[in-house]
Structure 1
Amino acid sequence: MKDRRWFTVGGLAALLLSGLAVAAPPTAKRGSSQFVQTDGASFTVNGSKFRYVGTNAYWLPALNTDQDIWNTLGNISAVGAKVVRVWAFNDVATTPVNGTWFQSIQNGKVSINDGPNGLQKLDTVVQMAQQHGLYVMMTLTNNWYPSASNSTGSSLQARGGTTETALPRNYLSNDYGGMDLYVRQFGLQCHDQFYTDETILNAFQNFTSKIVSRYVNNPAIFSWELANDPRCDSTLPTSGSCTTETVTQWHATMAQYIRSIDPNHLISSGNQGYMCTDCPKLYPLNPAPAPQPSPAPGSKKRSVPVTTKQLLRELADFRRSNRRAAKLSGRLKEDGIRVRGRWAATATRRQQSSEVGPAYDGSYGVDSQDIMNIPDINFGTFQLFPDQDTYAPSDPSLSSYQNSVNSGLYWIRNQAQSADAVGKPLIMTAFGLVTQDNAADFVPFNMTTALYASDTSYGVTNQQQTDAYSTWLNTSVSLNLAGMIQYQWGQQNLTAEPGTVISPGTTGITLSSRATPANNDSSQNMSPNDGYNSRSNPDMSQVFNTTANATQNSS
């Protein structure tokens, strides 16, 4: 009987749990160290295995007071999280009057801010995180910077072109500079020139050296993450010559550079986990896995990479099952498989049965397996955002919510299989699902305005989000993922100052319905919300605690 991998949430979860957790190839065990290290597919600290749940708070260094940073980190620690992922960059083209900035890049001239509104803010985050028993994952740049202009002044910027959608600088995760700011300010035109232009590479290495050397002996740093979601394209177009090898080579160059400075800390990519099953590899698996028969029912799956043959077989099985279900329900004539309103497969596209989809065919210029197998890359990364990406076909007999959960499970399963083949730890560095309470604030990572501000029906309920997160996290634990990081943390009672990330009256994506809190009440001063703020769901603390306990019990 064939597997039915996309039928039901429970059925797919059971399939994933039945035999896909694979032991990584044994490696020499390192000695005890206060720095996080790897041992096969696991992390270790002081000689003990370290598995964790964490959260994203990219905005932490931009908060206005040390007390706000302290309180936020304390609340994160209190729910059982062990790692917080933070933007260790904040690039501007024009020096702002207010707020935090780390590096100015203007017309090819670079200046790094070591002052109290610069890298000293990052120092505070690291120091306080350590005091709260937290590790910090430091992300060094971002693929996304869809700013309306190169200006980054002190007042509220009209990111969407109108004052009604104005947001403070640093509110959105894509408003911290990054790759496209380098490209623009060095007079170039294409996004992938960030990876290949020698002048830009030198500038980025200069900034990286400043950050890495600053914390080289600090055990509170979990890892250096080269970039958030690196790929060939962004707001700026690709040159047309960017391939998976381009992006992989950049990773290898940067990882080797960081390793030459810092022998203590781990290095990772930060990519979404996109695959390219048929792409040439700069770092092929050695030895290449030999063809193997299907495992017997109930046995463990062998450590082999995800292949095109496997994906096509699963896709064909799904289509046959989907067609039978459509016949039974009388829906066969309906044209297209809709995935949360983003894409519909027409009859013509359905005929292209050889396609495995952009998440697996190298369309984004990312081959996560090849990147993971770079010697100086210590562990694999991937992200999970069903509201913004497609990981598996949709089953029209299921709700959009059930399809989102199922596609997430399928994505996690394939990521675990790929990491098992390489033999390194794997982390889900960000995952999220937009709720109805957050829908009005939902801004995709490559945009500056909310897509569903007027759509009260978009998103899942809080209970559905809780159930989805629990399902994904439980499956991740069972598949031996070494870490899982929710996106993103929500914090109340923050100090507001004009022209900063927490500005008076700005608690969401629009300003028109928000007013400055009366009597200086700071309870409405919420951390940035791009649609994934955890504060809207009161059950998130329990999800963190439950998963934290599960990671400790399975260590």
Structure 2
Amino acid sequence: MLNGKKFYFVGSNSYWLPMLENTADVDKALDDFKASGMDVLRIWGFADLTSGSGTQTAFQVWSGSTPTINTGANGLQRLDYIVAAARARNIRLVIPLVNNWQDYGGMDRYVQSMLGSGGLHDDFYTNANIKAAYKNYVKAVVTRYSSSEPAIFAWQLTNELRCKGTLAASSSCNAATLTNWVNEMSTYIKSLDPTHMVSVGDEGFFNRAGNSEWEYGGGEGVDNEAYLRLPNVDYGTFHLYVSAWSKTYAWGDQWIKDHAAVATSVGKPMVFEEYGVTRSTGQRLTVIRTWHDIVLANAIAGDMYWQFGAVLPITGRTHDDTNTIFTDDAEYNELVVQYVPRMEAKNA
């Protein structure tokens, strides 16, 4: 539901948008995105650096154990521009506020800066000082925008939280560790902004006792269903990378269906938030066609492929991680432009 109406949508991810250093590129990227018919775009809302000089985007700069929020031209002003530009185009943004991985700083930046070399990844979820630093950053970003800002679709706690990241996890980290943190931080964001939705940004792993598959058995400390049942989490998320997870495409078919079943059981929406099939497999079109059909036939509210690629006037082609679908790719029309009205037909 969005504004009291059913809202089934197609969107994508462009993590790189806030990292662009000129507004002409931002405008072209958003124009191309809007031209596709898509509604919702997920971008990084974090950039934790240890140096904030020059033109590189830095939303928060660490000096020793002290973080300073950068509200300057290469800081949150870049996010401001994107929010305003998205609003002008009726695009809605999903904004995760920290990364599980070290790209653009991440949780490990907090841990290493505040605890030194002895810190473990899951200290991010339990250390009082680290949690306070994260809340400070969250407050700075969330309260920067009106609770009625139409360009904000959802605030997101993380990108892909797990017990471990680049740093290792402690032996005590488990599903309760992460669920308690999600409950605390989702409640905190709602206290700052009760209007916008909150989601977790998790990969959708389950915590089902006795299941030997790591994606289902709780080994990463993630519990997708438990998060969805929390009062201040508005919708669920899940990701799918069969190559990286050493799975088959058919396994991915069931992964989608299982998350649709959770959505139905809990009674909240579920978004297929990241997925990709590498170009080199030669199977991208066939596989994603199948996944689209499964999404359309099941209780999946949103479909956001990884990732949207554009050709920009200054930067040129945006980052290509081999999952990227560019606007000039042969598959773009079928997998994106033609898919949008098929998904939106579920709103009828």
1:60 to 4, 8, 17: 17
2:318: which partner in 1? 527
- For the residues of structure 2 that align with 1:387 and 1:96, how far apart are their CA atoms? 38
Say whether the 8 Å CA contact 1:494–1:527 is kept in structure 2: no
Q: Does structure 1 residue 371 correspond to structure 2 residue 162?
A: no
Query: What is the aligned partner in structure 1 of residue 306 from structure 2?
Result: 487
Aligned to 2:109: 181
Equivalent-residue separation in structure 1 for 2:296 and 2:63 (angstroms): 45
Which residue identity is paired with 2:260? Answer: A
Check whether the contact 1:272–1:383 (CA below 8 A) recurs between aligned residues.
yes
Which SS does the other structure have where 2:309 is aligned? coil
Q: Which amino acid aligns with 1:474?
A: D
1:276 aligns with 2:120: no
Counterpart of 2:262 in structure 1 is: 418
Which residue identity does 2:279 align to in structure 1? Answer: T
Q: Could you say what the CA RMSD is over the residues aligned between the two structures, in angstroms? A: 1.4
* C-alpha distance in 2 between matches for 1:548 and 1:274: 27
**Kept in 1: contact 2:186–2:198 (CA 8 A):** yes
Report the 3-state secondary structure (helix = DSSP H, G, I; strand = E; otherwise coil) of the residue aligned with 1:50.
Answer: coil
CA distance in 1, matches of 2:23, 2:54: 19
Structure 1 Cα separation of the partners of residues 246 and 144 of structure 2: 39
Cα deviation, 1:219-238, whole Å, max 9, x if unaligned, reads 21000110011010111011
Write the letter of the residue equivalent to 1:54.
G
Q: Is the 8 A contact 1:226 1:268 kept in 2?
A: yes
What residue in structure 1 maps to residue 141 of structure 2?
211
Cα distance in structure 1, aligned partners of 2:93 and 2:312: 23
8 Å CA contact retained: 1:84, 1:136:
yes
Larger Rg computed on CA atoms: 1
Structure number with the bigger relative contact order (C-alpha 8 A, sep ≥ 6) is 1
Letter matched to residue 378 of structure 1? D
1:200 to 2:157 alignment: no
Does the CA contact (< 8 Å) of 1:91 and 1:176 recur in 2?
yes
Deviation at 1:122, TM superposition (A): 0.4
Instruction: Give identity over the alignment, percent.
Output: 33
Q: Is the counterpart of residue 144 in structure 1 residue 140 in structure 2?
A: no
Q: Which has more helix, going by share of residues?
A: 2
Shift in CA distance, 177/541, structure 1 to aligned 2, threshold 3 Å: farther
Pick the structure with more strand per residue.
Answer: 2
Q: Helix, strand or coil for the counterpart of 2:124?
A: helix
Which residue is equivalent to 1:239?
170
Shift of 1:491: 1.3
CA contact (8 A) 2:29 2:312 kept: no
Q: Report the Cα offset of residue 390 of structure 1.
A: 4.3
Distance 1:263 1:211 in 2: 15
TM-score (norm 1): 0.60
Distance 1:186 1:217 in 2: 35
How far apart are the structure 1 equivalents of 2:226 and 2:299?
21
Unaligned runs of 5+ in 2: none
The letter of the residue matching 1:207 is: Y
1:317-350 deviations in Å (ceiling 9; x for gaps): xxxxxxxxxxxxxxxxxxxxxxxxxxxxxxxxxx
Who is 1:23 aligned against? none
User: Residues 269 and 301 of structure 2 are in contact (CA less than 8 Å); yes or no, is this contact kept in structure 1?
Assistant: yes
CA distance in 1 between counterparts of 2:24 and 2:52 reads 25
The answer as to whether partners of 1:64 and 1:495 remain within 8 angstroms in 2 is no
Q: Distance in 2 between matches of 1:541 and 1:252?
A: 40
Q: Is the 8 A contact 2:96 2:158 kept in 1?
A: yes
For structure 1, the 5+ residue unaligned runs are 1-42, 146-174, 279-307, 309-354, 392-402, 437-459, 497-524
Please report how far the alpha carbon of residue 371 of structure 1 lies from its aligned counterpart in structure 2 after TM superposition: 1.1
Q: Residue deviations 1:52-75, cap 9 Å, x none?
A: 000100110111211111110111
Match of 2:40 among 41, 66, 83: 83
CA shift for structure 1 position 542? 2.5
| Structure 2 CA distance for aligned equivalents of residues 473 and 66 of structure 1 | 33
Q: Paired residue for 1:220?
A: 151
Q: 2: CA distance between counterparts of 1:229 and 1:235? A: 12
| SS in structure 2 at match of 1:187 | helix
1:267 equivalent in alignment to 2:198: yes
8 Å CA contact 2:263, 2:299 repeated in 1: no
The CA deviation at 1:432 is 0.4
Q: Residue type matched to 2:137 in 1? A: F
| Aligned-pair CA distance for 1:200 | 0.5
Task: After the TM superposition, list the runs of 4 or more consecutive aligned residues in structure 1 that deviate by more than 4 angstroms.
Answer: none
Q: What CA deviation, in whole Å up to 9, does each residue of 1:81-127 have, x standing for no partner?
A: 10000001111012242321100123211111111111111011111
User: For residues 11 and 180 of structure 2, what CA distance do their matches in structure 1 show?
Assistant: 29
Counterpart of 1:118?
A: 75
- Structure 1 residues 377 and 424, CA gap change in structure 2 (3 angstroms): same
Give the counterpart letter for 2:333 in structure 1.
Answer: S
* Aligned residue-pair number: 343
1:430 aligned residue: 274
Matched, 1:73 2:73: no
